[in-house]
Chains A and B, each alone.
Chain A
Amino acid sequence: MDLIKECGVLCDDPAFISLLNRARGQVGSEVRAANNRGANNKPAVGHDAIRANAPLGLVIRKDKDLSYKYSRVGTNATAGRECNGTNGLVCNFVNISEDNTAVAVLVGVPPRVRLESFSSEHFRAVYKKLARETERPVFVMGTGTNAIGIIYVTDGNTFTRVDMTLKAKR
């Protein structure tokens, strides 16, 4: 149960784990769609040149009614910002660290990032830094061939694999 160290009481909350798993599905499908290529290796339905080869993320919030919700999937969460409401045209960007309702950040890395990449110190440093900047635990999930279904969590100091724990908690 080392996981508790990284995300505190959050990961003891079944409601959070349940929402995290739903959010993983959302991020995963959007990352896979953005990088979608057909059998001929040409961009296929859903392929998005701007989002392809880029990590996508979202913010998990705890509302006043104590229920968890997740934000839209985008490229901004990986830069420590979130689109907190929109007027229909432009987002109202806020720093995640300044959003009192934000409890965690979930990032889906592109399919090119394989399981081995998660062991890279440089790779880990990116998300440790994001966790320190946002002051929230950052969950990093893989979407590639051997990294699909894998999720790590970082609190800025440690970087721990947690997928099996989450499965047990479902």
Chain B
Amino acid sequence: MKIHKYSFALLLSAFVFGCHATPKEAYTYDAVTTVVNLIATPERYFNKKIEVDGVFIGFHQDRLYLSSEHAENMISLLSISVLDDTETEEGSLTMSPCSGEWVKLWATFIPAQQPGISTEQGRLVVDRAMLHKDGKTCWKRTEKSRFVN
């Protein structure tokens, strides 16, 4: 009888607390990589979900730079193009607090139109971005991208 009491209490607490606890967002990604890897061996990451760190600039052209020095001088050779296809400008990654910051991006790396020939080898279609300075999510995709299957 005691066992039944405990199990009932456990079940009740699981129900009460389980319903109120914020479900932790589950992200499944294929690789954790760097801007340098994406530039050097883009084909390894095509159509994969990746995690990558860098400085995101959304002012002149949406790009993820290797470091703040590269971002300040807009050295695009050491950066990856970010494809921001959000519907409204207000909700876009470009206009978000992520711009100009050291961020972690969870994204899909899609190949450019002509990989190996085009200037851009691939582009990042971002799902979520997190600021490194405070660990807060600065942007999150709300609608599915038409560039990712």
Contacts and interface: CB of A to CB of B under 8 A. Distances in A.
Contacts of B90: 41
Contact of A126 (B74, B89, B120): B74
Contacts of B120: 75
A53 B94 contact: yes
B88 A90 contact: no
B60 to A, nearest CB: 6
A99 B89 CA distance: 39
Contact of B119 (A42, A79, A110, A122): A79
Interface string A53-88: 111000000000000000000011001010000000
B127 interface: no
A37 to B, nearest CB: 7
Contact of A42 (B59, B74, B88, B94): B88
A53 B87 contact: no
Interface residues of B, number: 25
A50 interface: yes
Q: How large is the interface on A (under 10, 10 to 19, 20 to 34, 35 or more residues)?
A: 20 to 34
Contacts, number: 56
Given A113-B60, A122-B74, A49 B88 contact: no
Interface in B72-90: 72-74, 76, 81, 83-85, 87-90
Contacts of B83: 49-50
Given A110-B60, A123-B60, A53 B84 contact: yes
Contact of A50 (B76, B94, B123): B123
A91 B89 contact: no
Given A75-B119, A112-B94, A123-B60, 13 more contacts: A49-B83, A49-B84, A49-B85, A53-B58, A53-B61, A90-B114, A91-B117, A110-B60, A112-B59, A117-B59, A122-B73, A123-B74, A126-B60
14 contacts: A43-B87, A49-B147, A53-B84, A54-B61, A54-B81, A75-B120, A91-B114, A93-B117, A122-B72, A123-B60, A125-B74, A126-B60, A126-B74, A126-B76
Interface of B: 58-62, 72-74, 76, 81, 83-85, 87-90, 94, 114, 117-120, 123, 147
The 10 A-B residue pairs whose C-beta atoms are closest, nearest first, are: A49-B85, A79-B119, A126-B74, A76-B119, A54-B61, A41-B88, A53-B62, A90-B114, A42-B87, A122-B74
Interface of A: 37, 41-43, 49-50, 52-55, 75-76, 79, 81, 90-91, 93, 109-110, 112-113, 117, 122-123, 125-126
